[in-house]
Amino acid sequence: MKTEVKRFEELSAAELYELLRLRVDVFVVEQRCPYPDLDGRDEGALHVLLWGDGGGLDAYLRILPPGTYFPDAAGIGRVVSRRRGEGLGAAVLRAGMEAVYAAYGPVRIRIEAQSYAQGFYERAGFVRCSDEFDEDGIPHVQMAAEP
């Protein structure tokens, strides 16, 4: 596996296509949730790409700089993997957290997690910090990790 961290302008057209396709395949098609994935935040984000040995994109997430989405923290979102149960999500999340600290120093990281995935994020050190709320018809919670 190969992990890359890129700013939006560093992504090739093929890489951008692959990450958007993965996000749509899982969040829109698989989860049957039509929502505006193209939300105007990708251009200012860091993108963490986990490439499989065969060259395909296996997992992805994006990092929003501190103060751009959460006033007190960097944000991690759009955490997605092509296959579940193989450790891809955990690998890309670890890489994302490391990329946050490398880019912005020891800052708090916040996420808006689908409620069913709360345990996954807790294993990575996140703590729930909100009541459950609805986001595009799916229950979510906010969670935070301290450096």
Residue spans per domain, the chain: 2-107
Q: Which DSSP category does 73 fall into?
A: B
User: How many C-beta atoms surround the C-beta of residue 53 within 10 A?
Assistant: 8
**Would you place residue 136 in the very low, low, confident or very high pLDDT band (cuts 50, 70, 90)?**
confident
Burial (CB count <10 Å: 0-12, 13-18, 19+), residue 65: middle
Determine the Cα–Cα distance for residues 72 and 23; give it in Å rounded to an integer.
26
- Please give the pLDDT value at position 35: 73
What is the SS3 assignment for 57?
strand
Residue range 2-107 in CATH 3.40.50.11810? no
CB 111 within 8 A of CB 125: no
Confidence of residue 111 (pLDDT cuts 50, 70, 90): very high
Asked if 132 contacts 139 with a C-beta cutoff of 8 angstroms, the reply is yes
The confidence score (pLDDT) of residue 11 equals: 97
User: For residue 12, what are its two tokens?
Assistant: 């090739």
Residue 12 has a pLDDT of 96
How far apart, in whole angstroms, are the C-alpha atoms of residue 126 and residue 143? 6
pLDDT tens digits, 28-86 = 777 777 777 888 899 999 999 999 988 899 999 999 999 999 999 999 999 999 988 89
| Rounded Cα distance, 46 and 138, in Å | 25
Q: pTM of the entire structure? A: 0.93
